[in-house]
Structure formats: C-alpha cells, structure tokens
Amino acid sequence: MNLARQCALQSDECSRQARKLLEDKNGNSDHLLNTVEYISLIKIFLRSFEQVFIIIDALDEAPEKGSIVETVLDLLSLSQNQYDAKSRKPCVKVLLTSREDFEVSRILRHLTYLRVNLHERVHDDVEVYVRMDTQNRILAGKLKLRNKELGSHIQDTIISRAGTYVLMQLLDQVVFDI
C-alpha cells in the first residue's frame, strides 16, 4: 500500500507506529500486513495530518475496483471539511481517474457527481500527439509496417480509445468528469 508508505515517510509518528506494528506482526507471522491491517494503519496515520490528498489513477485498470472505491469511501468517512485538532480528524481530498468503464460507473452511481467530457476538450491534442509520435517511430525504425494503412488504423484506434474519468471530492462536493 503506497499510501501507508507515503504517510510513514511524511511523519515520524506514523513511521514509529508502522515499525511497531511490523515488529509485532513479524513476531507472530512471516507475512507482511494484509489488506485489512493496511487500511486500519492508514486510518490511524490519517489522524497525524491536517489535510490528506489521495490520488488513484487508472481505476479502470485495477483488478479490485469495487474494494478500492469502498476503501476510499471508508477513508472519506473519517474526513471533515476542516482539520479538527480535538478529534484529530483530517480533511481528506480524493481524486480518482478512470477511462469510461461500466463497472466503475456502476460502483460510483450512488455518488453525487458532475459530468464533464474531457474527451472533447483534449481530443485534438491527443490526435496531434498520436499522429506525430507514430510518424516519429516509423521514421526512427522503431515501428515497422508492411502495410502503410495499418499505421492509420493504429492511430485511429488509439485516438478513439483515449479518454478519462475523473472523480474528485472537493470540500463537500464530489465531482465526476468524463
């Protein structure tokens, strides 16, 4: 879990807690922490920070999309709009990105979101980049095509599949961009 490691690197207190948990765990088992133990550790770690930003890119490529979103929602439940020193509840902000994906849409359907089509906003830039990069690869001999029409087909396929979803939780608002 990258988030646990990053918290431990940012805070001496988190680092001490992680070492203690690992020492206790190693005394009882040869295995590292399981997912439930990592999530519990992250929840403890979050209380060491006033504000935390969690960024998860390419959710559509994750094998366990549902459990990732459930975990993020669980972590958001600990959050407040502002840090509260008494309760040690941090302000947690989340950014999830994904290509258009049925399962991701199904998982997130209960959230309030705003839909923005990024595909239309970046399509021309993506097309220019893909066409230039493909041509550069052909000229450099990194991409060798027997059939010249295959180059156009490759470019068109990449361009047509480029797109992204973005899910942001900002203040009290959740934003879902496509």
Q: Is residue 150 part of a domain?
A: no
Q: Is residue 65 part of a domain?
A: yes
With a cut of 70, say whether residue 31 has pLDDT above it: no
Which tens digit of pLDDT belongs to each residue from 139-177? 888 888 888 788 888 888 888 776 544 444 333 333 333
Q: Is residue 135 part of a domain?
A: no
Report the distance separating Cα 44 and Cα 46, nearest Å: 6
Report the distance separating Cα 177 and Cα 175, nearest Å: 6
* Residue 50 tokens, joined: 């006033």
pLDDT value at residue 72:
84
Q: Is residue 27 part of a domain?
A: no
Q: Is residue 1 part of a domain?
A: no
- The CA-to-CA distance between both ends of the chain, in Å, stands at 27
**111 Cβ partners below 8 Å, 6+ apart?**
167, 174, 176
Q: Which amino acid is at 62?
A: A
**Tokens 């972590």 sit at which residue?**
75
* Residue 97 tokens, joined: 């990105």
Q: What is the mean pLDDT of residues 30-56?
A: 83
Segments forming the whole domain that contains residue 107? 50-117+163-177
Report the distance separating Cα 54 and Cα 38, nearest Å: 15
Q: Is residue 7 part of a domain?
A: no
Domain count, the chain: 1
CA dihedral of 107, 110, 115, 117, whole degrees rounded to 10: 10
Which tens digit of pLDDT belongs to each residue from 44-103? 898 888 888 888 888 888 888 888 888 888 888 877 666 666 777 788 888 877 777 788
pTM (2 decimals)?
A: 0.61
Q: Is residue 18 part of a domain?
A: no
Report the distance separating Cα 79 and Cα 71, nearest Å: 13
Q: Is beta strand 51-56 parallel, antiparallel or unpaired with respect to 173-177?
A: unpaired
Q: Is residue 95 part of a domain?
A: yes
Report the distance separating Cα 167 and Cα 175, nearest Å: 5
